[in-house]
Amino acid sequence: MMEILSCAALTSVQDLGRYGFRRIGVTVAGAMDKLALAVGNILLGNQLSSAGIEITICPFRVRFHQDTSIALTGADCLATLDDVPVLPWWTRSVRAGQVLTLHTPVHGARAYLTVGGGIDVPVVMGSRSTDLKANFGGYRGRALKKGDILNIGASLRPAASASAGTDDFGVEPPASALPSNGLPQNLPGVISVRVLPGAEYERFPESALELFWRTDWVITPNSNRVGYKFIGPPILPSTDLEVFSHGLVPGVIQIPPSGQPMIQMVDCNSSGGYPNLGTVIEADYWRLAQARLSGAIRFVKTTHPEAVSALAAERDYLNTVTRMANVFRAGKPGAVNSVRASVRRRAGA
């Protein structure tokens, strides 16, 4: 069990999302930064579908009532366990009674706390995610608050093997591990994401499109898990656009009549009717998820093959981390159980 000692709004139990029910209007929900949540679960040897806690506003404090292991991924929240610092993108064991504190992040917007065995909340429609709009799933269908007690699932890792390897290690974060092909670097305060042109792209004049690609779009405070809204020069179609309502997925960039773009995020509605200018590629969702309010986003035009190859790079990264984490923990059959090298001065060396 773990007890929430302090927690601001917008912290909730999330997994990779609730799929298969959009046709009846159920939102996908799930972690905004699915890559960070997935890496946390991989470091712990959890199933990828295990739920963690998405922490958006700090400080966040939690006391563990049992020995367990944790992983911290996503935004670097200068975490401390009791008073000892814990590095970001790191996993380690914790003892019953210890208190973990996450502070306001310097970079990034969302941190993920995962535990060995995952957060044990009921599975509703195939997912443990909290649907914050419809108030179901997760922990009692709502955001977490002070005093909440969460159960921890049974860890997949046999206790005996835990001592064979190490449970104290970190991982190269996606920001430095993944190639950022085609993304401009060194734009201070600006996060770049790749975009595939959408259904109504051609209905906008060349001048509006050119403006769309070169503007650093400022994220308004009115942005959240449902969607991000931007301020910048108005992007207007050549003629008034009437579009039938159509299915929406996270990442879709819509242009409402004001000409100020918005991006649909994980809690978006299942359909909408604004013109679709483009879609942020799936491999760049985590970059969007870590964008801060009042920060800026630059959209970079990409192609379908580039989008597929970016996703393949993300999968390669996850596969490599999974393989190496298994070796570190040395718990899984087939993995190298141990490598021991004793280093001494060799004759003549």
Partner 1 sequence: MTLSEVKQMISHLRSTPICELEVSELGFSLKIKMNCAPVAMTRGGAETWYSADRLPGGPSSINPQGVFLKSPAVGQFRASHPSRPGRLAHLGKQVMSGEVVGLLKIGPLYRAVYATQRGTIVRSLVEAGQTVEYGQTLFELSPR
Residues in touch with partner 1 (CB under 8 A): 76, 84-85, 87-90, 107, 166, 168-173, 175-177, 317, 320-321, 324-325, 328, 333-349
For 35, the 3-state DSSP assignment is: helix
Query: What count of residues does the chain have?
Result: 349
For the bound state, the minimum distance from the C-beta of residue 348 to partner 1, rounded and expressed in Å, comes to: 8
CB of 331 to partner 1, least distance (A): 11
For the CB of residue 87, give the shortest distance to partner 1 in the complex, in Å. Answer: 6
Of 343, 346, 342, 323, which Cα lies nearest the Cα of 334?
323
Q: Token pair of 290, please?
A: 């870590």
Instruction: Tell me whether residue 181 or residue 319 sits nearer to partner 1 (CB atom).
Output: 319
Tell me the pairing of strands 296-301 and 190-197. parallel
Nearer to partner 1, 4 or 321 (CB): 321
Q: List Cβ neighbours of 296 (8 Å cut-off, separation of 6 or more).
A: 189, 190, 191, 216, 217, 218, 219
Shortest spacing between CB 92 and partner 1, in angstroms: 9
Only one residue has tokens 């959890």, namely: 46
Question: C-beta of 325: minimal distance to partner 1 in Å?
Answer: 7
Residue nearer to partner 1 on the CB measure, 190 or 318: 318
Rounded to 5°, the CA angle 227-230-232 comes to: 165
Q: What is the nearest approach in angstroms of partner 1 to the Cβ of residue 64?
A: 18
Contacts of 273 (CB under 8 A, 6+ apart): 243, 244, 245, 246
Closest to 71 (Cα-Cα) out of 28, 102, 29, 106: 102
Nearer to partner 1, 16 or 325 (CB): 325
**Contact yes or no for 129/139 (Cβ under 8 A):** no
Residue number with CB closer to partner 1 (60 or 328):
328
- Number of CB atoms found within 10 A of residue 247's CB: 11
Q: Which residue type, as a one-letter code, is found at position 66?
A: Q
CB of 152: closest distance to partner 1 in angstroms?
Answer: 24
Q: And the tokens for 121?
A: 């909340």
- Rounded least distance, CB 2 to partner 1, Å: 22
Q: Of 299 and 328, which CB lies nearer to partner 1 in the complex structure?
A: 328
Complex with partner 1: residue 223 or 290, whichever CB lies closer: 290
Please tell me whether residue 217 adopts helix, strand or coil conformation.
strand
When the beta carbons of 281 and 325 are compared against partner 1, the nearer one is 325
